[in-house]
Amino acid sequence: QNFTELNDAYVKKFGFPFIIAVRDAGGKANILAAFNTRINNSREAEFTTACKQVERIAWYRLKDLLPA
């Protein structure tokens, strides 16, 4: 399956788009693997995972904005 098909199935199941901190993902193959694993989660478990990913993305963005 391609990313569009997986995201469509994911949105249909969970009601929100697939979210992943790409900087942590380790490339397209790992993102695809995460899609295939996470689509089997319950909605509650996946919402928790998605929120953690949003937090991770925000952390990276803040880190980029703040001086070292």
13-64 pLDDT, tens digit each: 999 999 999 999 999 999 999 999 999 999 999 999 999 999 999 999 999 9
Q: For the range 31-35, what are the long-range contacts, defined as Cβ-Cβ under 8 Å and sequence gap of 24 or more? A: 31/3, 32/3, 32/6, 35/3, 35/6, 35/7, 35/10
Residue 67, pLDDT score? 81
Residue 36, pLDDT score? 93
Query: Is 90 exceeded by the pLDDT of residue 68?
Result: no
